[in-house]
Chains A and B, each alone.
Chain A
Amino acid sequence: MTFVDFLNLLISALLLAGTYAAMAIGMTVIYGVMKIVNLAHAGFLMLGAYFVYELHERAGLHPLLGVLLAFPAFYVVGVLVHWALGRGVPVSDKPTLASLLLMFGLWLVLQNIGYLVWGTDDRAILTPMTFATIRFGEITIPKIGLVVFASAVISLAALEFVLHRTWFGRSIRALIQNRYSCRIVGIPVERTARRTFGLGIAFAGAAGGLLALLYPFSPDFGRPFLLRSFVIIVLGGLESFSGVFVGSLILALVETFSIFIVPSSYQPAISFSLLVVALIVLPGGVAGFAARMRSRRAE
């Protein structure tokens, strides 16, 4: 591997990491507030992809505009789904199998609605950007990757702003810490939970749209990305926002650089193996590991 190859791979890993972070953050907020492992995340990623695709094909809308529209559209969808599921999605202290199976059922429903509507064919969103590259000497950067990365970063920055500068965001962070104290200080727990669910789904939809710019998709689109999202939030410690960035970076680096060790046909197994390893070796994620190290040093 020459240095240029290394740089090229590093850049593509970084670009990938940004997209991954946008993809996983929706799952983290929902998990953090409600302790629901949102298996339906995969379904909403897929719907987001088709949402952007349809707007692009039928209305001739620019895909990035479609991604922007996906935020409000999927927010409403998320709020409606949360309302419809009612007591099936309570705010709880620890994840339950009932909610896991419920979200799993929802995923099956969404996925197969996808099959009924769009069939099994692979689709792709092609724009003039898709195959364009930017060159700096020997370093080539795919333009689409850069655009997607930029959109992901902007949306994450907006989320950061909401979380730290608005009362809605503050109540989300408070709920992640302790929902009983939230009730005491007068945070409307149920309403915040519903909006958080909407927010999580909004990010899932928009991230699905972004991913659709990079990869061809079918109604089964979400499955590999669902597992990647898991890997990321598990690596990140499940409810930590900064952990999501670390997790995305680790996964993207491992996936990108493992092509030197693992044959490409075995590539899909990497994220799954990493998931199992992460769950077992780092139960608190990287953040938990760091905390443990700190406390050990303090002793």
Chain B
Amino acid sequence: MSAAERSPGLAARPLAVLPPLILLGLLAALPLLNLGANSVKVLFLTFVSIAASVGWNILGGFAGQVSFGFAVFYGLGAYTTAVGINEGLNPYLTYPLAGAVAALASLLVGLPTFRLRGPYFAIATIGVSEATRVVMTNLEFTGGASGYRITEHVPFRQLEHYFTGLMLAALAVGLSIIVRRSRFGLGLRAIRDDQDAAADSGVNPYALKLGAHAIAAALTAAAGGVYARYAAFIDPEGVFGFPRGVGILLMPVIGGVNTIWGPVIGGGVYGVIEEELVARFPQLHLLLYGVLVMLIILFEPGGVVGLLQRTRRFVLRRREASWQPS
């Protein structure tokens, strides 16, 4: 681990907590400006995306286990919440329930697939995701391919959804910071760098990966649940489809994997692009993501965050150079 990668403790930089808190406060106060319903919707969807993106990054970024299969958890979360609400549960109880269901499912998925490494794991998750989608498309209890409708006997309040989404995104970021700074997070980083070396130094890669998978799955499922309640209608193609899993993977890759804020930036970019482009050019956005991913892998594996850091270093160096007495 290089010194630059080690984040100094909060005690050393007490002001570091301020910008995120200010951002959170601004976003919480934003509805006071009387935004249009559409802007609120875009922001809400962005929060949901951020929560899933940050969740994915805990496994895919911190532990380096790239999964194409997070649609499984997103969909399970969406369906758990949907069924829960229709059975008369309080919506806010269904989100933790969705998280718990997905965490259990993540164990089922992880127990066999974590015996595989790197790309083999990634490929296996494509299989898991497609198999789950097929099963859900045929499940009679949830209406199969024709989808599932949520009926709530309360008026639709968009701002309530807005704040739920914001809280979830904040919770996800908080959790990701806690994981990152914990002993657990250190173990994940060790696995990412070199699994065998990590195992030799007393880290249990299997158990740690399962743990990261469960946390990531729970966050993604909660995001799915929050989305489902807003949408009030879900279908297997939409929440379990391969493009969903791809989207959850693309956000952190674009923003910058293995960082705290990369997935947040990626989620934001994705949420906005998705909303602006999907309606008008349904195919163009995936084309755009494909190009972005290729450019990122070829030129800046650190994503947006990596680009920002590089620019910052460049500017600092220029300034230093100009300070030198001539």
**Could you list which residues of chain A lie within 8 angstroms of chain B, going by C-beta atoms?**
37, 85-88, 94-98, 100-102, 104-113, 115-116, 223, 227, 230, 234, 263, 265-266, 268-269, 271-273, 275-276, 279-280, 283
Contact = CB atoms under 8 A, between A and B. Distances in A.
B283 A102 contact: no
B287 A97 contact: no
Contact of B122 (A94, A97, A102, A283): A97
A37 B119 contact: yes
Contacts of B64: 97
Contacts of B135: 266, 269
A226 to B, nearest CB: 8
A280 B66 contact: no
Nearest to B122: A100
B196 to A, nearest CB: 13
A263 B144 CA distance: 15
Nearest to B288: A112
Contact of A109 (B112, B282, B294): B294
A108 B93 CA distance: 37
B190 interface: no
9 contacts: A85-B298, A102-B294, A102-B297, A109-B294, A111-B286, A112-B283, A230-B123, A266-B134, A276-B131
Secondary structure of the B side of the interface? helix
Give the one of A85, A95, A97 with max B CB within 10 A.
Answer: A97
B124 interface: yes
A108 B283 contact: no
B290 A105 contact: yes
Given A95-B119, A107-B290, 12 more contacts: A88-B297, A109-B294, A111-B286, A111-B290, A112-B284, A112-B287, A268-B130, A269-B130, A273-B127, A279-B113, A279-B120, A280-B115
Contacts of B208: none
Nearest to A112: B287
A104 B293 contact: yes
A96 B130 CA distance: 23
The 3 A-B residue pairs with the shortest CB-CB distance in the complex, in nearest-first order: A108-B290, A105-B293, A112-B287
A27 to B, nearest CB: 11
B289 interface: yes
Contact of B289 (A87, A108, A115, A223): A108
A105 B246 contact: no
A17 B240 CA distance: 30
Contacts of A102: 293-294, 297-298
B131 A269 contact: yes
A113 B66 contact: no
B22 interface: no
B253 interface: yes
Nearest to B130: A272
B138 A101 contact: no
Contacts of A111: 286, 290
Interface residues of B, number: 38
Given A37-B123, A269-B131, A279-B124, A98 B66 contact: no
A28 to B, nearest CB: 14
Contacts of B290: 105-112
A115 B283 contact: yes
Interface string B231-272: 000000000001000100000010000000000000000000
B242 A97 contact: no
Q: Which of B118, B128, B137, B290 has the most C-beta atoms of chain A within 10 angstroms of its own C-beta?
A: B290
Given A85-B298, A102-B294, A107-B290, A275 B134 contact: no
A227 B126 CA distance: 8
Contacts of A112: 283-284, 286-287, 290
A124 to B, nearest CB: 21
A95 B118 contact: yes
B291 interface: yes
Given A115-B283, A116-B284, A280-B113, A108 B120 contact: no
A110 B298 CA distance: 17
A133 B227 CA distance: 51
Contacts of A95: 118-120
Interface string B292-325: 1110011001000000000000000000000000
Contacts of B115: 280
Nearest to A110: B290
A42 to B, nearest CB: 11
B119 A96 contact: yes
Interface string B115-153: 110111011101110110011011000000000000000
A101 B297 contact: yes
A96 B118 contact: yes
Nearest to B138: A265
Given A86-B298, A109-B290, A113-B287, A280 B134 contact: no
Given A37-B119, A108-B286, A115-B283, A227 B297 contact: no
